[in-house]
């Protein structure tokens, strides 16, 4: 059983087709990484899966129903997304921002409820941002800020969470910290997580499943140990390399040749 999948999906902007005729199945309860060179269409695919971009052809199905037939609000209760460069209003505090993740669960007239409160407090706790509640976002470090954005997506309380390059602007320590957090959420809360990322080594280390993309198509898909080969890296990134087992976890590690 899979909750989110795409069939024959083509996506694009203006007159340009970015990805065409993709079949994607997002494995429930797993952490999936979408990897590929710059401009290979991985963020576009993620936007398509999250209903931010309407399909040119084909469809994305959530729980068996086409995404375009569902209301935005219903999608938002099941599927969360953290964009690549989210915008924080000037001066907004952590508490305020994370609370805005509750949007799909609140009505036009419904006030803040106990459930909202528990969800936001839980999200702050899980991301280790509870001490920052009164702080304005702009005063935080990059790593803290990214954790706050994840907290907002968590407060949305969705079973599926898609993240567009959440680690790109972080230093190595914070990249690992964020990925550990996402794995923890996957292990403890059973969330299905899809991450678009650049760092293949980290993807292999922390993700259960890898989707490798090249020029708008999927070239390989599966567990990192099964699919990451020197040929694939050469094909996707144009980098000749050796694959050695990660000395700590045994997962594939890419070493440029």
Partner 1 sequence: MTVLAPPAARTLTVTRRRRSVRAAVVTVALAVAVAALFVVTMMVGSFRLSAWEVIASVLHLEDNPSVDFVVRGLRLPTAASGLTVGLALGASGTIFQQLLRNPLASPDFVGISSGAGLAAVGGIVLLNLGGLAISGLALGGAILAATLMYVLAWRDGVTGYRFILIGIGVAVFFDGLIGYVLTRAQLSQARQAMHWLAGSVGQASDTELKVLTAALIVLLPLAVLLQRPLRALELGDDTARALGTRTELSRAGLLATGVVLVALAVSVAGPIVFVALIAGPIANRLLGPATGGILPAALVGAVLLLTADLVAVHLMPTPLPTGVVTGAVGAPYLLWLLATTNRQGAGG
CB of 17 to partner 1, least distance (A): 16
Q: Of 101, 166, 224, 252, which one interacts with partner 1 (CB under 8 A)?
A: 101
Distant-in-sequence, close-in-space partners of 164: CB < 8 Å, separation ≥ 6: 43, 46, 47, 81, 82, 83, 84, 196
Q: Of 63, 69, 125, 171, which one interacts with partner 1 (CB under 8 A)?
A: 125
Q: Of 15, 38, 90, 248, which one interacts with partner 1 (CB under 8 A)?
A: 90
Pick the closer one to partner 1 by CB: 65 or 117: 117
Instruction: Return the SS3 of 30.
Output: coil
Instruction: Return the SS3 of 3.
Output: coil
* Interface with partner 1, residue 91, by CB under 8 A: yes
Distant-in-sequence, close-in-space partners of 60: CB < 8 Å, separation ≥ 6: 4, 5, 6, 9, 48, 49, 51, 66, 67, 68
> Which residue has tokens 């790109």?
168
31-39, 113-121, 190-198, 216-224 -> range binding partner 1 (CB under 8 A): 113-121
Q: Of 112, 141, 171, 255, which one interacts with partner 1 (CB under 8 A)?
A: 112
C-alpha 41/C-alpha 53 separation (Å) is: 12
C-alpha 91/C-alpha 253 separation (Å) is: 41
* Interface with partner 1, residue 21, by CB under 8 A: no
* Interface with partner 1, residue 124, by CB under 8 A: yes
Angle (CA) 154 182 64, round 5°: 65
Closest CA to 160 of 82, 68, 223: 82
CB of 1 to partner 1, least distance (A): 24
* Interface with partner 1, residue 216, by CB under 8 A: no
Closest CA to 4 of 31, 27, 34: 27
- Give the tokens for residue 7: 């069939």
Pick the closer one to partner 1 by CB: 1 or 87: 87
Pick the closer one to partner 1 by CB: 50 or 210: 50
C-alpha 39/C-alpha 169 separation (Å) is: 17
* Interface with partner 1, residue 189, by CB under 8 A: no
Pick the closer one to partner 1 by CB: 53 or 204: 53
Q: Of 31, 120, 195, 213, which one interacts with partner 1 (CB under 8 A)?
A: 120
The CB density around residue 45, as the number of other CB atoms within 10 Å, is 28
Pick the closer one to partner 1 by CB: 32 or 156: 156
What is the contact surface with partner 1 in residues (CB under 8 A)?
Answer: 13-14, 47, 50-52, 71-77, 79-83, 85-93, 95-97, 99-101, 103-104, 106, 108, 112, 117-118, 120-122, 124-125, 130-131, 133-134, 136, 156
């Amino acid at each position: 059983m899979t909750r989110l999948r795409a069939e024959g999906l083509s996506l694009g902007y203006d007159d340009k087709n970015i990805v065409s005729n993709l079949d994607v199945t997002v494995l429930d309860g797993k952490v999936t990484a979408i990897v590929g060179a710059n401009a290979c269409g991985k963020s576009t695919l993620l936007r398509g899966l999250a209903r931010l971009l309407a399909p040119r052809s084909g469809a994305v199905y959530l729980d068996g129903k086409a995404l375009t037939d569902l209301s935005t609000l219903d999608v938002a209760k099941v599927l969360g997304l953290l964009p690549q460069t989210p915008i924080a209003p000037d001066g907004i505090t952590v508490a305020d921002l994370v609370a805005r993740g509750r949007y799909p669960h609140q009505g036009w007239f419904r006030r803040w409820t106990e459930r909202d409160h528990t969800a936001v407090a839980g999200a702050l706790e899980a991301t280790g941002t509870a001490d920052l509640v009164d702080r304005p976002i702009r005063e935080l470090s990059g790593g803290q800020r990214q954790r706050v954005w994840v907290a907002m997506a968590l407060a949305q309380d969705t079973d599926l969470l898609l993240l567009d390059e959440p680690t790109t602007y972080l230093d190595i320590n914070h990249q690992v910290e964020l990925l550990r957090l996402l794995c923890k959420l996957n292990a403890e809360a059973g969330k299905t997580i899809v991450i678009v990322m650049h760092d293949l080594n980290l993807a292999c280390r922390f993700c259960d499943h890898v989707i490798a993309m090249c020029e708008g198509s999927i070239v390989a898909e599966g567990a990192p140990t099964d699919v990451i080969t020197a040929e694939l890296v050469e094909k996707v990134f144009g980098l000749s390399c050796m694959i050695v087992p990660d000395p700590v976890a045994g997962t594939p590690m890419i070493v440029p040749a």
